[in-house]
């Protein structure tokens, strides 16, 4: 869920005011909402997403909240709130109690800065990192025996935060150390033992943005190709990390915020949702590694940008808030879409209803919304809309997407069992998708992005990368020699040598 502002060194860097954070299983969400009074004060608001229709419950206390208070919804319906109080942070649990709000104080943490991590798998624990000048403390804010408790001290300054498995054992953090940023993995069942997870070259800055434990799909941001690029790889694969050209949109930035779950050992079929931002506003992007196209869609009215989750069937649920409907969820129905591997659709120049964008055909939907019961906005027949990007007039049919560039770290992570998939080609995609109201889903465990800043988004208007580059030496993770068993999913962590290539 991703977007420059001057950092307040005392402010928590978790969810900001107005940003919606979704629980690990998709059942609840929470944000700071604003009163309609003249002061525009803030109060916590919990959304229930697991019922037949979404609804919101205010969790306001006796005084307004500060806009830098951080919220984290738990799967039991309670909401963790982290408030700054003088030189420390106070953690409490909020919950509905009759007509009012109940509050359970968990304790306080003394730290100059504290960042809530994304919801942990299972939805009952909460973690935070407190970065300082030369080290970072990892805290278990909720779920310990005696309130907040330290887990481990990690050398370097850590940011980000991505969960690598469904048990909540393996946590990936982006660590800045000696002027370089690399992703490390923390084993919470071994006392916070850490090891190197992602290093494409010794000189590059490599960050992990998203990970799907089911398929092993990884979304990374690295300057190994020469400048900052979005790329993808597979947990446990020896194949190169690839940097698709389609993830460098000329009309804005692309920031991933959710990846489709349930695609066991099929990373090429996983759909990834992007927040697209440019001079014309904010819209949606959807990409699959097998499709080699970034499909773009107008965002539904009132979408809370950078928030959403996938169902296992491939539909994208997008929380929305408007004056008429302050708590709603729109569905981008992509479950029937099947993308052919190694193929790109060709479009006739000037074909009606198929606007052209800088990356080829732009698939669009233009839902309009009519009044209805709260949480059940109904789409009516779509009306023509302007394309998201200024249309270009091709003189010939669109050619297949440009080949992906690859930087090969021979296996970012080596699993105990083979994992890269070799799926057969799938059927072609339909002409478009539809946004329809959500009716609830049983499995909404898509992974949300842990990168809230736009600096990790794909930069626009950058020169193309050369097709080849020199071979580069890589390191092996220090814990690989000891054959540390990270989990049944990832196996021992190891990174070995490789080179750059054009895919």
Which residue in 355, 377, 492 sits closest to 53, CA to CA?
377
Is pLDDT larger for residue 160 or for residue 404? 160
pLDDT level of residue 334 (50, 70, 90 thresholds): confident
pLDDT one-digit tens code per residue, 21-30: 999 999 999 9
- Give the pLDDT score at 388: 40
- Give the pLDDT score at 37: 75
For residue 492, pLDDT beyond 50: no
For residue 137, pLDDT beyond 80: yes
Mean pLDDT of 380-393: 40
Q: Is 226 left (phi over 0), alpha (psi -120 to 50) or beta?
A: left
HSE, CB side, 13 Å, CA atoms: give it for residue 29.
Answer: 32
- Give the pLDDT score at 385: 39
Q: How far apart are CA 360 and CA 346, in angstroms?
A: 9
Can you tell me whether residue 467 is helix, strand or coil? coil
pLDDT above 90: percentage of residues in the chain: 53
Rounded (5°) CA angle 397-232-313: 80
User: How far apart, in Å, are the Cα atoms of 424 and each of 259, 290, 387, 427?
Assistant: 21, 10, 33, 10
pLDDT one-digit tens code per residue, 463-483: 444 443 333 333 333 333 333
Q: What are phi and psi of 188, to 5 degrees?
A: -75, -15
Is pLDDT larger for residue 454 or for residue 189? 189
3-state DSSP of 438-455: CCCCCCCCCEECCCCCHH
- Structure tokens given for 30: 């929470």
The whole-model pTM stands at 0.70
Q: How far apart are CA 86 and CA 204, in angstroms?
A: 38
Contact (CB, 8 A) for 485 and 245: no
pLDDT level of residue 35 (50, 70, 90 thresholds): confident
The pLDDT mean for the chain works out to 74
Cβ neighbour number for residue 205 with a 10 Å cutoff: 17
Which residue in 118, 126, 121 sits closest to 214, CA to CA?
121
pLDDT level of residue 449 (50, 70, 90 thresholds): low
- Residues, the chain: 503
- Give the pLDDT score at 62: 84
Which residue in 121, 182, 114, 175 sits closest to 150, CA to CA?
114
pLDDT level of residue 321 (50, 70, 90 thresholds): very high
What's the distance, Cα to Cα, between the start and end of the chain in Å?
29
Which residue in 99, 51, 33, 45 sits closest to 73, CA to CA?
45
Q: What are phi and psi of 456, to 5 degrees?
A: -90, 0
Q: What are phi and psi of 171, to 5 degrees?
A: -120, 125
**Rounded to a whole number, what is the largest CA-CA distance in the chain?**
69
Which residue in 359, 365, 362, 307 sits closest to 332, CA to CA?
365
Distance of alpha carbon 456 from its chain centroid, rounded? Answer: 11
Note every long-range contact of 271-275, with CB atoms under 8 Å and residues 24 or more positions apart, other chains counting.
271/310, 271/314, 271/316, 271/334, 272/210, 272/217, 272/219, 273/308, 273/310, 273/316, 275/1, 275/2, 275/305, 275/306, 275/457
Which residue in 419, 415, 54 sits closest to 264, CA to CA?
419
For residue 227, pLDDT beyond 70: yes
Q: What are phi and psi of 131, to 5 degrees?
A: -75, 140
Which segments of 35-143 are extended strands (E)? 42-48, 55-58, 70-73, 79-85, 88-97, 100-110, 115-116, 126-131, 135-142
- What is the layout of strands, in order, in the sheet containing 149-155? 115-116, 126-131, 135-142, 149-155
Dihedral, CA of residue 344, residue 345, residue 347 and residue 353, to nearest 10? -130
């Amino acid at each position: 869920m991703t977007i420059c502002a001057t950092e307040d060194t005392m402010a928590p860097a978790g969810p900001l005011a107005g940003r919606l954070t979704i629980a690990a299983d998709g059942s609840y969400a929470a944000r700071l909402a604003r009163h309609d009074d003249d002061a525009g004060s803030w109060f916590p608001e919990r959304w229930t997403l697991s019922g037949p229709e979404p609804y919101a419950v205010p969790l306001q206390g006796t005084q307004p909240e500060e806009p830098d208070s951080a919220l984290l919804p738990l799967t039991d319906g309670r909401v963790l709130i982290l408030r700054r109080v003088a030189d420390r942070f106070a953690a409490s649990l909020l919950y509905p109690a009759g007509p009012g709000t109940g509050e359970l104080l968990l304790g306080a943490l003394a730290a100059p800065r504290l960042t809530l991590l994304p919801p942990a798998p299972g939805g009952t624990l909460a973690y935070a990192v407190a970065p300082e000048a030369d080290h970072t403390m990892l805290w278990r804010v909720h779920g310990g025996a005696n309130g907040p408790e330290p887990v481990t001290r990690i050398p370097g300054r850590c940011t980000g935060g991505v969960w690598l498995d469904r048990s909540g054992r393996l946590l990936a953090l982006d660590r800045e150390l000696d002027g370089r940023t690399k992703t490390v993995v923390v084993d919470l069942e071994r006392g916070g033992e850490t090891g190197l997870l992602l290093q494409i070259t010794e000189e590059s800055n490599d960050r992990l943005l998203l990970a799907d434990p089911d398929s092993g799909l990884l979304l990374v941001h690295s300057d190994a190709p020469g400048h900052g690029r979005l790329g993808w790889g597979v947990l446990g694969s020896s194949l190169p990390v690839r940097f698709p050209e389609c993830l460098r949109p000329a009309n804005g930035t692309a920031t991933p915020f959710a990846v489709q779950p349930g695609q066991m050992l099929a990373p090429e079929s996983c759909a990834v949702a992007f927040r697209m931002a440019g001079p014309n506003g904010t819209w949606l992007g959807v990409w699959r590694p097998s499709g080699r196209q970034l499909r773009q869609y107008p965002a539904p009215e009132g979408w809370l940008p950078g928030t959403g989750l996938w169902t296992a069937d491939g539909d994208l649920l997008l929380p929305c808030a408007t004056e008429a409907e302050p708590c709603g969820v729109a569905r981008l129905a992509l479950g029937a879409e099947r993308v052919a591997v190694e193929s790109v659709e060709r479009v006739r120049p000037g074909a009606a209803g198929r606007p052209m964008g800088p990356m080829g055909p732009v698939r669009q939907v233009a839902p309009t919304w009519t009044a209805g019961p709260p949480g059940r906005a109904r789409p009516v027949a779509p009306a023509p809309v302007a394309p998201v990007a200024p249309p270009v007039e091709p003189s010939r049919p669109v050619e297949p997407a440009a080949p992906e560039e690859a930087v090969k770290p021979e296996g970012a992570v080596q699993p105990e069992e083979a994992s890269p998939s070799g799926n057969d080609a799938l059927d072609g995609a339909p002409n478009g998708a539809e946004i329809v109201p959500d009716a609830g889903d049983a499995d909404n465990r898509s992974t949300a992005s842990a990168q809230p800043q736009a600096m990790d988004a794909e930069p626009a208007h950058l020169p193309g990368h050369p097709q080849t580059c020199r071979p580069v030496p890589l390191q092996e993770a220090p814990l690989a020699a000891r054959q540390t068993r990270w989990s049944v999913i990832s196996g021992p962590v190891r990174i070995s040598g490789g080179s750059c290539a054009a895919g």
